[in-house]
Amino acid sequence: MHQENDREKNRREEMEKRQVRNEDLQKPFHFADRLNEHIKKKGSAICVGLDPRMKQIPSFIKEKHFGHYKNAMVAAAESIIEFNKGIIDAVADLVPIVKPQIAFYEMYGSEGVRAFEETCWYARDKGVLTIADTKRGDIGSTAEAYAKAFLGQVDLPDSSGGSQEVFSFDCDAITVSPYLGWDGIKPFVDQCRRFGKGLFILVKTSNPSSGDLQDLKVEEVGSVYELMAQYVESWGADDVGESGYSYVGPVVGATYPEQLEKLRGLMPNSIFLVPGYGAQGGTAEDVAKVFDSNGLGAIINSSRGIIFAWENSDTFTEKDYAAAARAATVEMAKDLRGE
Amino acid sequence: MHQENDREKNRREEMEKRQVRNEDLQKPFHFADRLNEHIKKKGSAICVGLDPRMKQIPSFIKEKHFGHYKNAMVAAAESIIEFNKGIIDAVADLVPIVKPQIAFYEMYGSEGVRAFEETCWYARDKGVLTIADTKRGDIGSTAEAYAKAFLGQVDLPDSSGGSQEVFSFDCDAITVSPYLGWDGIKPFVDQCRRFGKGLFILVKTSNPSSGDLQDLKVEEVGSVYELMAQYVESWGADDVGESGYSYVGPVVGATYPEQLEKLRGLMPNSIFLVPGYGAQGGTAEDVAKVFDSNGLGAIINSSRGIIFAWENSDTFTEKDYAAAARAATVEMAKDLRGE
């Protein structure tokens, strides 16, 4: 039998603990209803993008971990975990949801992916929902594996030669690419329905070249992105919660406000995930029309503008990076309210 | 300072060793030239899909590891690593390249991703190229992170307060989704050019609903997939190697042989990654026209038909899973040669 050291033992116990979920944190069951409750409770529809670029993580954090671990990837992971916990602690009462982008974790290999896991678990403990920003998309059997990995349960042998189902990443929602059509989407819908999770499908993305494919004019129908919007609406139509929203929604960039407005009309029952506010150029005015009269219907993402707010601040130094993030979140909430 | 146990020490030393690359394994530098050399040397254009579904991994492997590690995710990862090493040992002299699909590893969290890393490193040691089948796609800054994670180098602080660049997954190639257009592709092309790596972009995928988006008729142009093919040809046109092929190629399913033939004509300088042979229904006849007169121009993927060949065999039991994989590979090579 492998002799675990303290670190390995702690990690295994943490993972076992995660299998017994705090059911209060899962209510309401329907993802859209749960997200909307969080939006109302926190008083904002802000999604904080946890994109921990190593160069911008404060030096005092990096010095501590790189001085403590010989394995540089472990030190990188521990730096990311500490940084993210500081951000989550600072904003947990102000925002309903956070969105770690897995690329910035995969940079540091499997250790980086461990930092992604621990970030998601910590967010849940602090009463904040999580979107795994992975933009996954593949054929049916592979999509099923992704959906089980990030949203559902995976099978493992148990000690009696049978099988057990355990939670893996157990995020609340995930971003998905629609290039492969319904086969690549259905497995995610199945896991969402079974475990009360959510799905955000790329429709009109925030980047400059999003038009290369998304703006192509399809004969007799309209643009690709308009057709994708119709697909998203139909794919979620069977699964509308009590708040009137489905757990299937689109990703639509703040940087294309005209299309955002048009798409709002095409997907009345979807919660929009809106990237592009702040660092990419989108403004509060650009996104105003995406909300319903109750302030619901969308979550607006900001990453660098919040988590690295200290860099552009006269008031805060890197030691106060978390307080700076809180201040930037308060500012963004005011901005979105039109104050 | 954290006191490493043997396992942690071995892992760190392995990662440090990986930073000093065996330059012979990187030749030729241009990915298409290197792949074509491997195809010629091994005598086949077979790509083995390493999709290690836990239920189908032989029990004798699982019993060993689940009896040895208290942490079930660690046991799952070790089972996958042992299984994959057996497959690679059995086929390394017969195939140029393997393609682990990361979803099946992400199912087991960060431990599963460690199994992905160790599989890729082992394949390289055995003289086999690797495609990270991740189908990544995101905006520029995020795509850059993905490209550095899987193909290039990532930045880490060094002990003198400066920065060092280290290899992370260091795969030979990656699959990418084109939904976001050029912004999501360019960062991958940059890493390919810098590190002699390759890129396979989804064009016409093998699954039943691939037509939902890919077959849409774009006004005055043709279908979305034909337009994507033109993009792929142009994105790779500047980077053709001595063998006449670019390091940018398409993913085109064997299950759509008519489109495969049409696309061959649209992308004369691309190496095609062709999934769908075998378990999904594609045949040798379906893919015959994708090869040039030298037998180059494509790699044909098979996953379940090779790695779980023992399940459909009268000759091999699960204990001989690796020998069964070798036999299936030999059969597939004959089939592709039209014998």
CB contact under 8 A, B138 and A210: no
B278 pLDDT exceeds 90? no
* One-character DSSP codes across B31-98: HHHHHHHHHHHHT--EEEEE---GGGS-HHHHHHHHTT-SSHHHHHHHHHHHHHHHHHHHHTTT-SEE
Say if A223 is an interface residue toward chain B (CB within 8 Å).
no
- Measure in Å the smallest separation between the Cα of B234 and chain A Cα atoms: 13
d(CA A54, CA A105): 10
pLDDT of A67? 93
Say if B230 is an interface residue toward chain A (CB within 8 Å).
no
* pLDDT, tens digit, 9 for 90 and up, residues B300-330: 999 999 999 999 999 999 999 999 999 999 9
Stretches where chain A sits below pLDDT 50 are none
Under the banding of pLDDT at 50, 70 and 90, the label for residue B22 is confident
Chain B environment of A112 (Cβ under 8 Å): 149
B161: left (phi over 0), alpha (psi -120 to 50) or beta: left
d(CA B118, CA B7): 14
Show Cβ contacts of residue A220 under 8 Å, excluding neighbours closer than 6 positions. Answer: none
Say if A210 is an interface residue toward chain B (CB within 8 Å).
yes
Contact B233, B269 (CB under 8 A): yes
Annotated active-site positions of B, please?
Answer: 135
pLDDT of A159? 73
pLDDT of A9? 94
**CB environment A290-320: b (16+ within 10 A), e (fewer):** bbeeeebbbbbbbbbbbbbbbeebeebebeb
Say if B227 is an interface residue toward chain A (CB within 8 Å).
yes
Contact A50, A82 (CB under 8 A): no
User: Which of B312, B73, B118, B179 minimizes the C-alpha distance to A13?
Assistant: B73
Q: What residue type is assigned to position B142 of the chain?
A: T
B160 pLDDT exceeds 80? no
Alpha-carbon torsion angle B188, B191, B197, B199, nearest 10: 10
User: Which of B49, B43, B37, B31 minimizes the C-alpha distance to B254?
Assistant: B49
B117 pLDDT exceeds 90? yes
d(CA A238, CA A296): 20
CB contact under 8 A, B113 and A117: no
- Measure in Å the smallest separation between the Cα of B339 and chain A Cα atoms: 30
Mean pLDDT of the B191-201 span: 97
Under the banding of pLDDT at 50, 70 and 90, the label for residue B39 is very high
Say if B187 is an interface residue toward chain A (CB within 8 Å).
no
- Model ipTM value: 0.96
User: Which of A244, A287, A286, A288 minimizes the C-alpha distance to A267?
Assistant: A244
DSSP 8-state secondary structure symbol assigned to residue B225: H
d(CA A34, CA A241): 9
Quick check: is A319 catalytic? no
User: Which of A196, A189, A261 minimizes the C-alpha distance to A231?
Assistant: A189
* Across A55-69, A315-329, B155-169, B232-246, least confident range: B155-169
Of A40, A135, A186, A262, the catalytic one is A135
Q: Chain A: residue nearest B140 by CA?
A: A207
Give kind and range of the element (H or E) at residue A307. Answer: helix A304-307
Residue A107 neighbours by CB distance under 10 Å = 29
* Tokens, residue A210: 């999003």
CB contact under 8 A, A209 and B68: no
Under the banding of pLDDT at 50, 70 and 90, the label for residue B171 is very high
B155 pLDDT exceeds 90? yes
Say if B54 is an interface residue toward chain A (CB within 8 Å).
yes
* Tokens, residue B214: 């890919």
B197 pLDDT exceeds 80? yes
Query: Percent helix, strand, coil in chain B (nearest 5)?
Result: 50, 20, 35
d(CA B178, CA B11): 35
d(CA B264, CA B298): 10
d(CA A311, CA B217): 47
Side-chain half-sphere of A97: how many Cα atoms within 13 Å? 30
Say if B150 is an interface residue toward chain A (CB within 8 Å).
yes
d(CA A21, CA A11): 17
- Measure in Å the smallest separation between the Cα of A91 and chain B Cα atoms: 23
Contact B48, B54 (CB under 8 A): no
Which of B142, B166, B188, B219 is most worth mutating to test chain A (most A CB atoms within 10 A of its CB)? B142
* pLDDT, tens digit, 9 for 90 and up, residues B122-131: 999 999 999 9
Q: Where are the beta strands (DSSP E) in chain A?
A: 46-50, 97-100, 129-136, 153-157, 163-167, 173-176, 198-204, 217-218, 222-223, 248-252, 272-274, 298-302
Show Cβ contacts of residue A141 under 8 Å, excluding neighbours closer than 6 positions. Answer: none
Under the banding of pLDDT at 50, 70 and 90, the label for residue B86 is very high
Show Cβ contacts of residue B41 under 8 Å, excluding neighbours closer than 6 positions. Answer: B96
Kind of pairing between the strands at A97-100 and B46-50: unpaired
d(CA B291, CA A156): 41
* One-character DSSP codes across A48-64: EEE---GGGS-HHHHHH
Q: What residue type is assigned to position B271 of the chain?
A: I
This prediction has a pTM of 0.96
Say if B17 is an interface residue toward chain A (CB within 8 Å).
no
d(CA B239, CA B247): 7
CB contact under 8 A, B117 and A110: yes
- For the ranges A158-162, B3-7, B245-249, the one whose mean pLDDT is highest: B245-249
User: Which of B62, B114, B120, B59 minimizes the C-alpha distance to B88?
Assistant: B120
Chain A environment of B146 (Cβ under 8 Å): 103, 106
> What's the mean per-residue pLDDT of chain A?
94
- Measure in Å the smallest separation between the Cα of A243 and chain B Cα atoms: 30
Kind of pairing between the strands at B153-157 and B163-167: antiparallel
Chain B environment of A231 (Cβ under 8 Å): 212
User: Which of A295, A296, A277 minimizes the C-alpha distance to A286?
Assistant: A277
The interface residues of chain B toward chain A in range 232-291, judged by CB-CB distance below 8 A, are 275, 280
Say if B55 is an interface residue toward chain A (CB within 8 Å).
yes
Count chain A–chain B contacts defined by CB atoms under 8 A. Answer: 272
d(CA A82, CA A312): 21
Check the CA dihedral B252-B256-B257-B259 and report its sign.
Answer: negative
CB contact under 8 A, B150 and A106: yes
Indicate the SS3 state at residue A81: helix
Mean pLDDT of the B24-28 span: 86
Residue A338 neighbours by CB distance under 10 Å = 8
Residue B43 neighbours by CB distance under 10 Å = 14
Size of chain A, expressed as the number of residues it contains? 339
